[in-house]
Amino acid sequence: MNSPYHPDKVEQRAQSFWRESRSFEVTEEPDKEKFYCLTMFPYPSGKLHMGHVRVFTISDVIARYQRMQGKHVLQPMGWDAFGMPAENAAIQRGVPPAQWTYRNIQDMRVQMQRLGYAYDWTREIATCRPEYYRWEQWLFTRMFRRGLVYRKNSVVNWDPVDQTVLANEQVIEGRGWRSNALVERREIPQWFMKITAYADELLDELDRMPGWPEPVKTMQRNWIGRSEGLELEFPVEGTDESLEVFTTRPDTLMGVTYMAVAAEHPLAVRVAKHDPAIAAFIDECRKSDAAEATLQTMEKKGMPLGIAAIHPLSGEKVPLWVANFVLMSYGTGAVMAVPGHDERDWEFANKHGLPIVQVIAPEDGTDIDIEAGAFVEHGILVNSGEYDGLNFDAACDAIARHFEETGRGRRTVNYRLRDWGISRQRYWGAPIPIVYCEDCDAVPVPDDQLPVVLPEDVEFTGVGSPLKDMPEFLETPCPGCGRPARRETDTFDTFVESSWYFARYACPDSDRAMLDSRAAYWMPVDQYTGGIEHAILHLLYSRFFQRVMRDEGLSETSEPFTNLLTQGMVLKDGAKMSKAKGNTVDPQELIEKYGADTVRLFMIFTAPPEQALEWSDEGVQGSFRFLKRFWNSVQMHAQSGPAAPVDHDSLGAAQRDLRRKTHQTIAKISDDIGRRYTFNTAVAAAMELLNSVNRFEDRSAAGQSVVQEALEAIVLTLSPIVPHICHALWEALGHESALIDEPWPKTDDRALEQELIEIVVQVNGKLRGRISVAADADDAAVREAALGDANVQRFVDGRAIRKTIVVPGRLVNVVV
RNA sequence: GCCGGGAUGGCGGAACUGGUAGACGCGCCGGACUCAAAAUCCGGUUCUGGCAACAGAGUGAGAGUUCGAUUCUCUCUCCCGGCACCA
């Protein structure tokens, strides 16, 4: 009697089995080869979305595959639980952020469990719990001692109406999202972590990370942006001050015709005091948000400051401008402008009638018209006095030597990478463990007073941090001198929590240390999977934190993630699925209708993991149909009772063909999952094999044996992707032991042997025929067979054969 | 603006190392089953011409390298991601 496919029953049974046998709970076993498989943990937004389902499924496939390879697999799950959405929910619905967050975690955990992921739930982490953030507060105080954190002024988006700091996301076309007021840039004191101290190491190590995708490494290299150049001083006319600038093109120095400083630069601020026009311009420059994309796409504006710098080589006066495209936070807040050889400088000079001078000529001696556009390539120096005739390297060297000798400049290395500002003027985050004392200044909270616990029972209005109105939080004796002092009310950037959680999964219950010896067993993460949108920030911060933990003696690992898989977005109608865009599809409905396996299969089959996946409702039904067909085929086969093991030597031709297909499929799926990470083609191969089985009508005992072998291969190889149905079908195929502990199937070389192969014949690169030849035929025999083909002869037709290319086992190309 | 990625039938995708373009699936068309429909099963399906055999065209656009290019090089267009306070 065939039972129809009921996914909910099948899935509940499999999940109860895994739960009762604690299949996915692991402890350290030093004699076993470990495999740490990790997914970027989710923000508990309320419900799972398709992006979650995709990344979790991809990771689960890898975890289950590695388990079948005999590895001791850890796959944990947790919650990146601090962040803005909880505050927004609090404002909109009056629920305290903590309550909202914990409820979301509960809901999402239930949804995840319904999807059957192989997680060790005993290691679950939520970053908003004091037991967790206690240790990042602790690490922060260590970094404070080592000089790796410091305080300085830096720019935020200021909403002048709501009197609050806005995230870049909360600025819509230059206006506050709620007040609609024009956003201003404002400088406030904030805490920074010295990621630049690790810039060289973070950069150099990228060359030794073969398990990371090349594009991600390139993006990180460019983000760090190491550049060698010259730092030099331009004296300011009529003062004893000088303006420091950095350039990667010292060879163009004689082409400097003006200089520009940022609106926040002290020199500009000073001029503004007695020049209302400049003051107005600076005010104007501040009316913008702080995002780099905004600043770089803004119309380039500037005003002359009416003072000049002295060119350090020529002694000539160079006018000083204040400009909106120079950033105070990057470099020295001042730049030298060479309009002849820099496109941005050229456009600005052209617009404001500033002189454009050619000082570099093309090496091949061609003439260029510097008035028509900047010449930005390297070349030979001209109009540069004693440096004329030198090439790029020689000129840079000679000019650098001149500055080093005069002491007015030095060769230096500059980074695009800036230190990490970790202060947030928000409530729902981990408190920065600092106490401000009038006498002792900023004092880190001592170990025995950690954690600084964030009060969870608050009324959150959205106007400022509620911590500022809580004397019981604010007021505390100074840890240094004991006199009354006040706590820092800013909280950590939520990227801080996500920069070390991967190590904490190894020892989530450790209350004596941030990490213990268990971390040494599990770290580094063998396979990390997450969105490509995290290619720079999260991954770079994590690499930085891992090194800080290493240097603190907590770990011997430098690189946290050995292999990285960046999965593409889930798109609908060409746009990323997101709540903000309102184009989400709820996974829950689909799971209820078709089951977890169908949703998992669809996610895996529809696109390769790294590519964007375009959502389609119809595709889900196709996945469901396949599972039904799979189910029915196994049930039908199992009806006729147990099949004997295959006896290869006694098989007929058709039986051998199916058996060959089985073993080709095992080989292909092993390669697709284990090496190529193209899980979609693995599914396609399994579908092909099932199609072959369904067309195979041989009911003899030997036929049944071959079918049994084929169906077992499909069950085993698809089990990482659709584990529930495979759990049930393995039983149906007559096995008493559970599928979850089965090893990955092996190919039988004898089954793969083939006597005749098909060769494609081309004439002048165009397909003209197919021939069947012996698998071991030599080139001459293949060539002869190719020329004997009737259609090939028609196209050769007596013309002279210029050459014949034979690609063994593939094709013959006859060139006439 | 800068950095990274992408573009292949009506649709999602496949073609792994330069060697049969379109595997597998969706959709559509035709057929079987059915009183009928759904479900299921079988067959067809890049476009153009042809009853067919077959021929011509074809992988965002344009050029180049090669016996041979979806694959390599150059130029361009459009789309996606990131740009340091969304996570």
Tell me whether 0.90 is exceeded by the ipTM: yes
pTM here is 0.95
Shortest CA–C1' contact from A493: which nucleotide? B85
* Cβ atoms of A696 and A658 closer than 8 Å: yes
- Mean pLDDT estimate for chain A: 94
User: At A474, which amino acid appears?
Assistant: L
How many residues are present in chain A? 816
Which ranges of chain A have pLDDT less than 70? Answer: 1-2, 579-582
Contact A586, A47 (CB under 8 A): yes
Distance from residue A607's CA to nucleotide B44's C1', rounded to whole Å = 26
pLDDT at A1: 41
Q: What pLDDT sits at residue A581?
A: 67
The pLDDT assigned to A280 comes to 95
**Helix (H) or strand (E) segment spanning residue A405:** helix A392-406
| Distance CA A622 to C1' B28 in A | 15
**Residue A631 CA to nucleotide B40 C1', Å?**
14
- The separation, in Å, between residue A689 CA and nucleotide B35 C1' comes to 38
- Closest nucleotide to A624, Cα to C1': B25
Minimum-distance nucleotide, CA of A684 to C1': B24
Residue nearest to nucleotide B67 (CA to C1'): A815
| pLDDT in the model for residue A808 | 87
CA–C1' nearest nucleotide, residue A575: B80
**3-state SS, residue A23:** coil
Which residue approaches B39 most closely, CA to C1'?
A: A625
**Are A230 and A250 spatial neighbours (Cβ–Cβ below 8 Å)?**
yes
> Which candidate, A703, A633, A719, places its Cα nearest to that of A669?
A719
Query: Could you give the maximum distance between any two Cα atoms of chain A, in Å?
Result: 106
| Cα A135 to Cα A125: distance, rounded to the nearest angstrom | 13
Interatomic distance A790 CA / B58 C1' (Å):
26
- Phi then psi for residue A248, to 5 deg, are -95, 0
Q: Give helix A679-695 / helix A653-671 axis angle, nearest 10°.
A: 170
CB-proximal positions of chain B, under 7 Å? 1-6, 11-16, 19-21, 23-27, 39-43, 54-56, 67-69, 79-87
> Is A585 exposed, middle or buried, given 0-12, 13-18 or 19+ CB atoms closer than 10 A?
middle
Pure H helices in A154-262: 199-204, 214-224
